[in-house]
Structure 1
């Protein structure tokens, strides 16, 4: 701390005790006087008369030299204590007004544990010390704070006073790491624009950067300091600028990161199981210990799974399943045990659970009896009994009824052994799939190969994954079996071995060949892949897939019924059909409910069903990181009769925390309904690596590097982070040299008398 004395403060106050040494010349003078003894002799009378004549002048000369020597010792001690003129500036010589700009990193990585406390705790400590020192030594200077997570500055251009110190202390107390990342280039640009109006009011510009200085935030792909950062530093006037960097991060060798949580199925259906894939990665440079991976549903039921040690850079994906009893908005959370960086130890996924999935079955060969219909076994697979809820709402039509249907009402369309479709219907179907709808083709005896290729293949621009060729195989001798060509495919997750063992006893009698696809030399069209093949890995494709716009298309090159195979009687048939439907059907758009640090949720509701007032709160009770607040939904637009909910962080800021959020909607009938969404940090926020002083300086141009002062914790404790402006030791040095010269001249002059 600083010791203040009148209008002067000292950087090394303990050295002021050295001023006591000023008494040494006086002590020597007194001791020398006591050494004389009186001896009378004859010539003494003449000397005594001469001494009495000059005694007054000699005493004055001795006292003057004594005072000069005492002053020299005191001045030397005063100089070594490094005095500074305070804000009152009694000397009127040294002070020039400065603008002190604190850039504080409150990104997610600042929650990292660094010994005792976190990087954020160290930031608060250093920021407090700076403001405390400025308050005692730079009263009247200007002060501004720039937070990484806020667009607008705090304390903009405020004079440094005791009141400012108290307010800044409260500001730091409330400061927490946010899900936002450090974008130093943008922050410097905001700082430059904010302080520009004060350029004429300050002769010096002091910028203090307090951050953990993570490489992933500061370095570009070439490993050099980002060009944007250098460009923004150059905006500041270099003749006034001084950069002071205060690192608060520490290099770590271990960090487990929960990288993602994804839903495997296209959508969740009430009463049906939903699979979630959770990926963990060891971002550290050493092997991790064994750990537990947790999974939580709607803030309630939890399961834990032990995971063996992960090597550095290794990823591990675990599958969790959950079943939801009610339709509506839900969320799941995966989490790791606490480690050095809590921010990347959890991920939340918000989504909706549908009452059912709507499936359109188009039957190209209805048959005389229900069991002879082309889609009979498909319908049985999707809805096996009246007692068990399948989650699929089936609509069965024949190919003659297509003109009357709106594809957009369905999550999945299955065309089973149809002859063809009219061009206008094909166009509607293409638009449906391109917008995200799911489509499955089954071939059969009704298929006219040339017409299908013309309407559905279109030289690779149509819906078919691949062009069809001739029919092959012998129904009477169904010797060929089903082979899983891609066991890792989502359709077979956790069931590949079971399906493969069951499919090995299925007899495939007839199928359509795919043009230029069979054999080792066969090439499938770009974007097309084989999931099932006939007999072995070299056999003709039995199930193909491709993406078409935002949707997916599957092509079974055999029938859906029992006409060309015995698969329908095998237990693997309903498993594959259900999983294929779940995989290819229209996917729920999850992105609108998974927000970044500054994301905005926009969701329309009906004013007939819901009131306008909305409450925003944490998804889990007891999460005090997220303050509760209310707002109103507004009219979506002039033409729409819907209300628009816009859930956003405070203007110009990031969300206060990562994790699950809940919007509580009040219904007109008096009930309430929850709408969940999640906020996630930048995926690389947990990547370790701290930038060193040498690397930081090397990335800056020379004119900026010369302005940089790198201050570790020890330097801050000595208060050397303050600008030397205001120190008067240089002036005292000149005065000391002048006194020494004066003392020498006077001693020589008086000695000649």
Structure 2
């Protein structure tokens, strides 16, 4: 029970006085001398007293050496053993904030490392304190994921649960080996679960410690935190806040990277947006942004665990952020060209700063070959179909990625879901009526991620559309059709017939020119929409309608809305030229290309997953084996593969992929369930970066698919909250704030200060005793002899060591 066990080797110093004494005795030598007989007689007379004095002197010197070494080693005494025999029990609950902002290394050491040192100091002190001490340690990320997984058990979330503290330092070894988690979370879940453990633990005293970095984003409005802490403080719990962070330094973060919505086809350049935010307190300039593309060609079929990423890397030219103000963000655009089909990965990174975890971010880029789109025109001349097909497939050297297939209206009447899933998008132009069978097939197609565009001209029968497209829970129209309404003449100043709506992202290339870019579009008539009769205005089932273009009188002309995973664009005018000249205007080309990219995006696989989300992979049961391997992202190789067995899902299960038919295999890894089950490799799948699925096809060939795992943004804001303000907001809960440095100092001295004073007093007493014994054991001429010269003394009266020294 020493604070510094390594120094206990110094107890060997205790033997030094004994060795000196033994060596001193070896220096005696015999010498013939007549007067020696008198001295030997005196020695025999006083021998017992002489030995007693020498033993006492030697023991005092040994004791001085032992006490001195004990003080240097930080002896903590045997208080715990005494407490185990009948002392009180104290339950200590430590909440470690391990959200990724705790990786802030401002000052040279991360805030999470300071939190672990605070836990270590506490454990050492408890090992020497009187009484029985039970320790519970809980990390905030595990608590949040436990609750997210449906469990309210504090024991499932805790790394240690009511473990008795002993002198064995291995108690917290597993916790000391952890790092700040990539999970973004607050402390509410951990405090709630800690409260449950505190209430259920039978202890005489209870103490809650919260080791965190106390950022403004969490504590600026701590109502929910205060509510959780009030539930604990009612149990007479002492609460101590350990502030582990320092004043933040510069921090830049990549908050997003994603390919823009487009037709992602191999051999067609794709524009990628990377957003960078300056969370630091100062402006920055001339910051380099590195970009890499990881190619997964058909030749890459086996994963290599010895590499961080199996795909071949291509470094793109670095981009430079010339200047970025504090708190501002900037989006840099760059182009990626990949000739191979398949899913590839893109990564951007910033130079190292105070918080390294948000300096890099990745996404995937799924590229397919050119895919078919279905175009059906209700007019016999198919003029509208010609306009759409000529834009999507202009021929010559221009490659859009869409292959238009023009079919008659009878094709739709007999269509089924299996028929439609072979098309990436569907364009329906001025169809007079929609049958119940067609409406059902279109609804299922859209819900599974398909894209649908309506062009409603003069031949549309509104009752048929309203009856079938909005029946039950179908939402294939934004609102019921009302009437075909002529465009009123301009009032006063002349203005364009068509203006921009409230969804600028779809026509972003034209938006910069303002409404003047649409000034040449003529519109004489269009359909209008009723207020939705199928839902109340605040009904969550009602789709959110985005108005892309409006008529001059404010009515919608082009709308956009989502239905489950699919997207629908509705144009309330036809393309035969009777109501509008838009197909002949250059803006129609821009609109149709943007609309086609928007419709394709619904069926596109996701380009990233958040690290705390469930990892899912759906594959066709007939094309792949049921066993697969998941290789998590790593900082440094090697990677540890995770074997996963698929679950068979029937065709009508809502989780099947768009375009699939028959049964599918579903691979699932749920981090929350893994935390509750106590699986050790959960920390691997929570790591951001580029992970990989290693699949096996039915023909025995391997297939490697990258997955981009990213952190949630927000924790890069390292601004600190004021401790006094937090204490005020938490009232009537009383908390005590300490910095991690003050906490360490307090714990290092608290358990040994009283004992150190006792040892110091004992040392002083022993030193004084040693000097007195040394004086007593040595020969000194009595003072009386100098005052009474007439008095004679015999040699036999001489005592002690004089007789011994005389014999030398």
Q: TM-score, normalization: structure 2? A: 0.65
Secondary structure at 1:343 match in 2? coil
Residue of 261, 267, 276 corresponding to 1:265: 261
Aligned equivalent of 2:214: 213
Aligned equivalent of 1:126: 118
Aligned equivalent of 2:597: 582
What is the 5 A alignment of 1:419-458?
A: 419-426=432-439, 428-430=441-443, 432-433=445-446, 436-444=449-457, 446-447=459-460
Are residues 1:624 and 2:636 paired? Answer: yes
Aligned equivalent of 2:411: 401
Superposition deviation, residue 481 in structure 1: 7.7
Counterpart CA distance in 2 for 1:170 and 1:425 is: 60
Of residues 649-658 and 404-413 in structure 1, the stretch that sits farther from structure 2 once superposed is 649-658
Are residues 1:646 and 2:668 paired? Answer: yes
Counterpart CA distance in 1 for 2:753 and 2:701 is: 66
State whether residues 412 and 581 of structure 1, in contact with CA within 8 Å, keep that contact through their aligned partners in structure 2: yes
Secondary structure at 1:117 match in 2? coil
Q: TM-score, normalization: structure 1? A: 0.69
Counterpart CA distance in 2 for 1:352 and 1:647 is: 22
Q: What is the CA RMSD across the aligned residues, in angstroms?
A: 4.9
Aligned equivalent of 1:199: 202
Aligned equivalent of 1:598: 612
Aligned equivalent of 1:185: 188
What is the 5 A alignment of 1:686-725?
A: 686-702=716-732, 704-705=734-735, 708=736, 710-719=738-747, 722=750
Superposition deviation, residue 716 in structure 1: 1.8
Which structure has more RCO (C-alpha within 8 Å, separation ≥ 6)? 2
Counterpart CA distance in 1 for 2:84 and 2:443 is: 82
Of residues 417-426 and 92-101 in structure 1, the stretch that sits farther from structure 2 once superposed is 92-101
Q: Deviations over 1:706-742 (max 9, x none)?
A: xx46354145235367469987989999xxxxxxxxx
Distance 1:317 1:561, change over 3 A: farther
State whether residues 144 and 153 of structure 1, in contact with CA within 8 Å, keep that contact through their aligned partners in structure 2: yes
Aligned equivalent of 1:416: 429
Superposition deviation, residue 362 in structure 1: 0.8
Distance 1:414 1:606, change over 3 A: closer
Counterpart CA distance in 2 for 1:277 and 1:144 is: 45
Distance 1:610 1:429, change over 3 A: closer
Residue of 593, 603, 615 corresponding to 2:629: 615
Counterpart CA distance in 2 for 1:468 and 1:456 is: 16
Counterpart CA distance in 1 for 2:456 and 2:82 is: 97
- How many residue pairs get matched? 632
Counterpart CA distance in 2 for 1:180 and 1:297 is: 26
State whether residues 275 and 330 of structure 2, in contact with CA within 8 Å, keep that contact through their aligned partners in structure 1: yes
Counterpart CA distance in 2 for 1:92 and 1:533 is: 80
Residue of 82, 96, 101 corresponding to 1:109: 101
Aligned equivalent of 1:87: 79
Secondary structure at 1:669 match in 2? coil
Are residues 1:680 and 2:694 paired? Answer: no
Counterpart CA distance in 1 for 2:185 and 2:545 is: 41
Superposition deviation, residue 118 in structure 1: 1.7
State whether residues 294 and 302 of structure 1, in contact with CA within 8 Å, keep that contact through their aligned partners in structure 2: yes
Gaps of 5+ in 2: 9-69, 143-155, 295-312, 532-541, 652-661, 677-681, 762-808
Aligned equivalent of 1:355: 369
Secondary structure at 1:425 match in 2? helix
Gaps of 5+ in 1: 8-77, 518-524, 734-753
Aligned equivalent of 2:241: 245
Aligned equivalent of 2:689: 659
Superposition deviation, residue 188 in structure 1: 3.4
Counterpart CA distance in 2 for 1:452 and 1:206 is: 67
Superposition deviation, residue 319 in structure 1: 3.6
Counterpart CA distance in 2 for 1:285 and 1:452 is: 57
Aligned equivalent of 2:287: 291
Counterpart CA distance in 2 for 1:349 and 1:184 is: 29
Aligned equivalent of 1:60: none
State whether residues 269 and 353 of structure 1, in contact with CA within 8 Å, keep that contact through their aligned partners in structure 2: yes
Are residues 1:376 and 2:381 paired? Answer: no
Counterpart CA distance in 2 for 1:608 and 1:427 is: 27
Superposition deviation, residue 361 in structure 1: 0.6
Superposition deviation, residue 613 in structure 1: 3.6
Distance 1:589 1:727, change over 3 A: farther
State whether residues 85 and 94 of structure 1, in contact with CA within 8 Å, keep that contact through their aligned partners in structure 2: no
Superposition deviation, residue 423 in structure 1: 4.7
Counterpart CA distance in 2 for 1:189 and 1:509 is: 61
